[in-house]
Amino acid sequence: MEKNFVPLIDLVDYQEKSENDKQNAGLTRALAAFALCNAADLTPEIAVSSITDGYDDNGLDAVYHAAEDKTLYLCQSKWSNDGLGSIDVGGAEKFARGVRDILSLKLDRFNSKITTRKDVIEEAINNSVRINLIIVYSGSDKISEHVKRVFSDLLADLNDTGDVAVLDVVSQENLYSIVSMGGRGEPVDIAIQLFDWGQTKAPYQAFYGQVAASDVAQWGARWRHKIFSKNIRSFLGSNTAVNEGIADSIRKTPAHFWYLNNGITALCSRVQKRAVGGNSREAGTFECQGVAIVNGAQTVGTITSLAETAGEELATARVPIRLISLEGCPPEFANEVTRATNTQNRVDARNFVALDQEQARLRSELLIDGIDYEYRQGEGEPNGENRFGLVDATIALACSSSSPDLAVQAKREISKLWDDLSRPPYKLMFNSGLSGLKLWHLVQILREIDSALEDLRYFVSDARVKSVIINGNRLVAHIVFRNFICANIGLVYFKILDHTDTLHVLTQQVVIKIAEVIVDCYGDSYLAHLFKNLSKCKDVANQVGAIAPDAKAVDAMRIARQELS
């Protein structure tokens, strides 16, 4: 660290301090940068530029956003000259407070190293889907039970709507391991036992077969995100529709899992079969070096998450797997495999909507009125003056529902609304009582609300109001729908241009009111998650209550628009 990191560290704020203090500060910051390098696969230069340690750092010594996989890294480090100690309760509580403050966009509580990156950090917080918390210290002691409780409470708060945040605790022992492996952490080398295995020798060597799900869970627990380092996606959490389906399959019919799962594809720098077992294809053990799972991250992540609650089922379940050796392969072959295994067409819940006769009826009705409704999945989502698709239709129906339930689900994971075409929530939206014209009018209203939010986004400077606009868009739409009174929706008399100004003003009023409720009642909340929490969204909607469009503001907007035209 003294060679690769300390020379890059900014210590301007320690110019007036003693050499001992300056050295400790340099090593503490280098430690944070070193941990970031290992966790996020960064160069020392990029890691050092993410350092926030200093006066008023609010417990965060480094902040980094990996835009490509939408992961936010928040780190606290502690250097110990004598090699003893760990993170104490005070440090843990300060870190937890800093995490909550930055995620709730209270950036005024941080030093200039964060406030000068205000726009970048706001964008990162509003767009991150994963949060990686890192505690790194050079002492040899274990963290205490009290400290563990602080971190456990923090993770419980952050993960109340799904497995979004993880905590990596890196101690002296872990640091030695990372350094001994060249600074990038221990390589992913696994002895994999395959059942009913086979092989392909040409043009490149590969082995295939079945692996015990319990073994897969051990891989995930030991290497976590490192095993997915070459995948285009890491584990997305247990609460997605696909991953809930994987978990249900293991819990209910573990013996059938091999038949129901697409399996895992792993690239290995080298694969060598052990001599034990001879040529028997019933079972074999393979020494796999440099393992990187390039397809199957959701399978591995879900299986890992079931380790404590479904141990017996995991022991029964088998997972299909391919082990591809890169020995003797062209340089681009690994990228080709990664790209191909992640871009082949998949059939998901949305595709089955095409079988619903109600969808065909709605399309036919709308064609008579010159509206193109495309509910089958194709290239992108249809959009245009007289065109819309299934996603717009579903969101409009969800947000216009009488309660926030469907709007929140549309925000969390819209595909859940298409899970079962024979019962709610799908049947609450798409049923024989819905006319094509009403559906189109609701979509037009939603588009005006979204347009108003987009306009508002570029005029507000308050970070939390901006987060309401970005993350609370579906709840905003629900409350606007609830307060927009128009008897002509679904009738030929309805003209969206007659209501544009009202919808824009009402949207602004709702955003302001929601922001006020957030400040009063949920000031410490991470808004990207709050708007996916049904009970909190119901409470916010109830507190916002009824809102009448400001008539003067509507008239002023109408006059301004007419003058511009």
Q: Tens of pLDDT along 19-71?
A: 888 888 888 998 999 989 888 878 889 999 999 988 889 999 999 998 877 88
With beta carbons less than 8 A apart as the criterion, state whether 280 and 195 touch: no
pLDDT for the residue numbered 234: 66
SS (H, E, C) 386-442: CEEEHHHHHHHHHHCCCCCHHHHHHHHHHHHHHCCCCCCCHHHHCCCCCCHHHHHHH
Q: How confident is the model at residue 563 (pLDDT cuts 50, 70, 90)?
A: confident
pLDDT for the residue numbered 344: 61
For tokens 């250097």, name the residue.
79
pLDDT for the residue numbered 70: 81
Angle between helices 463-471 and 118-127 (to 10 degrees): 30
Pairing between β-strand 318-325 and β-strand 206-212 as defined by DSSP bridges: antiparallel
Instruction: Tell me how far apart the alpha carbons of residues 162 and 157 are, in angstroms, rounded to a whole number.
Output: 10
Q: At residue 190, what are phi and psi to the nearest 5 degrees?
A: -135, 135
- The topology (CATH level 3) of 6-180 is Restriction Endonuclease (3.40.91)
Task: List the domain boundaries for the chain.
Answer: 6-180, 190-344, 350-564
| 111-143 pLDDT, tens digit each | 999 999 888 899 889 887 789 999 999 888 888
Which SS3 state, helix, strand or coil, does residue 298 take? helix
The residue among 383 and 173 whose pLDDT is bigger is 383
Helices (H), 52-111: 89-103
CA distances from 264 to 67, 207, 294, 345, 373 (A): 25, 12, 8, 16, 37
Strand order across the 206-212 sheet:
270-273, 283-289, 190-200, 206-212, 318-325, 264-268, 292-295
Which SS3 state, helix, strand or coil, does residue 11 take? coil
- Point out which residues pair with 133 in neighbouring strands: 74, 167
Of 321, 286, 323, 340, nearest to 205 by C-alpha is 323
Res. 85: pLDDT tops 70: yes
Listed range (19-23, 363-367, 482-486) with the worst mean pLDDT: 19-23
Instruction: Tell me how far apart the alpha carbons of residues 480 and 453 are, in angstroms, rounded to a whole number.
Output: 12
Which SS3 state, helix, strand or coil, does residue 462 take? coil
Q: At residue 292, what are phi and psi to the nearest 5 degrees?
A: -140, 115
| 179-216 pLDDT, tens digit each | 655 445 567 899 999 999 999 999 999 999 999 999 99
